[in-house]
Structure formats: C-alpha cells, structure tokens
Amino acid sequence: MLKLSKLTDYAVVALVRLGQKNEVTTSPVLSRSTGIPEPTVAKVLKILATQGIVTSQRGARGGYRLAHPLEEISIASVIQAIDGPISLTTCVDGGDCDARSTCGLGGQWDMVNAAIRNALSAITLADMKNHTVIDRLGGLQAPSMPSGPAATA
Amino acid sequence: MLKLSKLTDYAVVALVRLGQKNEVTTSPVLSRSTGIPEPTVAKVLKILATQGIVTSQRGARGGYRLAHPLEEISIASVIQAIDGPISLTTCVDGGDCDARSTCGLGGQWDMVNAAIRNALSAITLADMKNHTVIDRLGGLQAPSMPSGPAATA
DNA sequence: GCTAATTGGACCGGAACAGTACTGTTTCCT
DNA sequence: AGGAAACAGTACTGTTCCGGTCCAATTAGC
Ligand code: FES
Ligand code: FES
C-alpha cells in the first residue's frame, strides 16, 4: 500500500527522542520514554547502529547515542536504514523487470523514484521534532498543472 | 522497502499501452504486447475495471478501454486502485499507533504523506508515455536547504 | 575475577502479496 | 439457436517479508 514498515515509524520516534537528550541512552529507557515495546525499540536501534545512524556502546553503562545531530539526519536515510533502498518498482536501477523491452516506459519510474527520494531527503528529523515539515514542503506541490488530473481520488 | 506492489507496475504499463491504441483491447492481446503474463494482466485489468479506471466490454469481441484519456489519469489514482490508499505510516488519518501520546511527532507524518501523494497526483500516465516526468517534477526538489542533510546516502 | 548490565546476532511464527485456476455470465458470430 | 470468445468473480496455493522473541558476545564496575 505504499506504506513504510512500522519499524521505520518507530525509528523516527526513537531518534527524535534520542536527539532531545544528548547523552548515552539505553533501550529500556528509550522504550519507557517513547511507549514503544522494549524488544522492538531494541531491534530498531540495533539496525540503526549497523547503518551508522547511531553509535553504540556495549557492556554495562552502555547505550546508544546519535552519530549526527538531528538536523543532519534525513527521513530518507532512516527509511533506507530500516527498510532498505527506496525503490518504488523492481525496474529502477536495472532491476529484473520481466517486460523490460516491451513496456515502453524506459526509465520513467526512475524519475518518479528520484523525486520521492529527494523529497524525503529534504526533510530532517529536526523538522519532525519542531513541526516545521510544512515549511520544507512548501515547494513540493506540483508547480504547474495546466490540465488538472481528474481521476485523482 | 517503500516499494509499491508489482501489480501496480504492471497496471501502469498496461494502461499506457491501452492509451496508445485507442480501441477495445483484450487481455491476451495486451499480454502479448506488454510481455506481462496473461493471467496477471487479466487480474490487473479486472481490478482497474472495478475502480473505474478502465471500462470493460463483455462477451466476444469484448475487451477493455480507458475510461479517461491518459492525461487525466494520475499515477496516484492507479496506485490507490491497486494497492489501496497511500499511507506511509499507520498513524496517518487517525491510525491506531501505539505510541500516539508519547511520540511527540503529532501529525507530522500526515504532512510527509500528503506531499508524496501530491507529487504522485501531479504525474499522469501521459507523462510516463511521453517521458516528460522530469518536467512535472521540476519543482519537486526542496527549494531551500540551508544546512544540507549529510546522512542522505 | 566475578557479576551485572547492555548490545549483537540468529531464530521463528504469521500476515500480506503474487500468481494460478476454476466457474459463471455476457455477447458476438455463424 | 448454437457455439465460441471474452470478462467477472471467487477461491486456492506458494512465497516473501515483516514483526517479535530468544540466546550469545562484550564491557563497566565492584
Ligand atoms: S522496466 Fe519494469 S515495467 Fe518497464
Ligand atoms: S502517532 Fe504514530 S508514531 Fe506518533
């Protein structure tokens, strides 16, 4: 349904919360503070650690800390860390599409895909925290639409 | 992975092909012309028919025809017809998110979701056919990005 | 050196999707 | 009228992927 996994949603919440208290934080603490189930938030942080979004400190008195400030972490990077690369269709980036030769849509999906990716890259976690997403998206509505699409609902 | 289902990909290909020959076309013909397996393309067209994207003519010499010109069919409408509504996270539109009260991201996802939806609504199947997607997306890149996000890869 | 705390990685169950098959209904052509 | 062609709807099956759980590796502190 063009939806991203629930893990990604959790990741954003956890990261924003991590950015508010700028110190090493453990999974249980983050779980209590966000309301996300403890095992789940732990898993999310584990993945984020492997992707370099957060740095981890093992052992007692360990925990997680942001690798970059919130302003430098884009939504896209979080999505790609959890859900994998942003690829609307299988045929972007030379995917193994069955109807490659006959479809006639050569590479147009790549454009759409890149547009989505750019939009998501422009939004940072700081925007999510400060509720300033709308500012960044000001130019996102299609600029010129001569013959308005009808079947949009 | 923020990917839309393969059926949607097929639907776009089939619809563009349908728009090229502006006459009633059968599933087998469309299958041969697009390279999509016959049962699959049939299933896709059936769904599109129920959603009013195409009109169907039953019986011998029957087939499918576009209900609207290509210029009036947006990518978003096709996606919604096949994959259901565009909802990035479960918490858009009053979803049953577990951490609603504690997450602190009140409604920001709705903004992001709406942006994606608007972008996809601005692209029509005619743009896909004519390879003019890039034109429509010219204003999609975020306008101002003072402190560029670093972790974008 | 031992214990406790915490991350790291592997495992498993279940839901959603893609694809297939079958039956029924409608329409055209002979 | 009869048969063939094509859509409509439903049901089924195999597979993939997400979500969650469990145990092993690692480090700080006493
Ligand atoms: S290459 Fe995938 S549909 Fe054209
Ligand atoms: S409402 Fe879903 S994460 Fe905040």
Residue A16: inside a domain = yes
Is the separation of the CB atoms in B40 and B25 below 8 Å? no
* Distance of alpha carbon A28 from alpha carbon B92, whole angstroms: 27
How many other C-beta atoms are found inside a 10 Å radius of the C-beta of residue B103? 23
As a rounded value in angstroms, the CA-to-C1' distance for B58 and C25 is: 9
Looking at residue A22, its pLDDT comes to 81
Nearest-atom index, ligand 2, CA of B105 = 4
Which pLDDT does position B137 carry in this prediction?
65
| Long-range Cβ contact pairs of A24-32 (< 8 A, separation 24 or more) | A24/A57, A24/A61, A24/A62, A24/A63, A24/A64, A24/A65, A25/A63, A25/A64, A25/A65, A26/A62, A26/A63, A26/A64, A27/A63, A27/A64, A29/A63, A30/A64
User: What's the domain range around B77?
Assistant: 6-134
Calculate how far, in angstroms, residue A103's C-alpha sits from the geometric centre of ligand 1: 6
pLDDT digits (tens, 9 = 90+) for B107-135: 788 888 888 898 899 999 999 998 887 66
Q: Could you list the pLDDT tens digit for every one of the 153 residues in chain A?
A: 788 899 999 999 999 999 988 889 999 999 999 989 999 999 999 999 999 999 999 999 999 999 999 999 999 999 999 999 998 988 777 666 767 778 778 778 888 888 888 889 989 999 999 888 766 665 554 443 434 344 443
Give the per-residue pLDDT at A97. 72
Identify the three-state secondary structure at position B102: helix
Number of domains in chain B: 1
Task: For residue B41, give the CATH number of its domain.
Answer: 1.10.10.10
Nucleic chain D contacts, Cβ below 7 Å: A 5-7, 37, 39-40, 42-43, 58-62, 83-84; B 1, 26-28, 42-43, 45-46, 49-50, 56-64
Nucleotides of D under 7 A from a protein CB: 3-10, 17-22, 25-29
B61 within some domain: yes
User: Considering the domain boundaries, does residue A118 fall inside one?
Assistant: yes
- The model's pLDDT over B50-62, given as tens digits with 9 standing for 90+, comes to 999 999 999 999 9
Per the CB < 8 Å rule, is A2 touching B98? no
Does some domain include residue A12? Answer: yes
- Is residue A17 one of the residues assigned to a domain? yes
Q: Which residue has the tokens 């095992």?
A: A39
Q: Does B30 touch chain A (CB under 8 A)?
A: no
In a domain, B48, yes or no: yes
Q: How far is the CA of B97 from the C1' of C15 (A)?
A: 18
Whether B147 is in a domain gets the answer no
Question: Structure pTM?
Answer: 0.86
Strand C: list positions under 7 Å from protein Cβ.
4-10, 17-21, 25-29
Cβ neighbors of A58 (< 8 A, separation 6 or more) are none
Residue B16 alpha carbon to ligand 1 centre in Å: 12
Q: Considering the domain boundaries, does residue A140 fall inside one?
A: no
Asked if A115 reaches chain B (Cβ–Cβ under 8 Å), the answer is yes
Provide the phi-psi class of A25: left if phi over 0, else alpha when psi is between -120 and 50, else beta: beta
Provide the pLDDT for residue A137: 65
* Positions in chain B whose pLDDT score sits under 50: 141-153
The distance (Å) linking the CA of B61 with the C1' of C24 is: 19
Query: Of ligand 1's atoms, which has the minimum distance to the CA of residue A104?
Result: 4
Closest residue by C-alpha to C1' distance, nucleotide D3 = B60
Q: Do B68 and A12 touch (CB under 8 A)?
A: no
| Nucleotide nearest residue B57, measured CA to C1' | D7
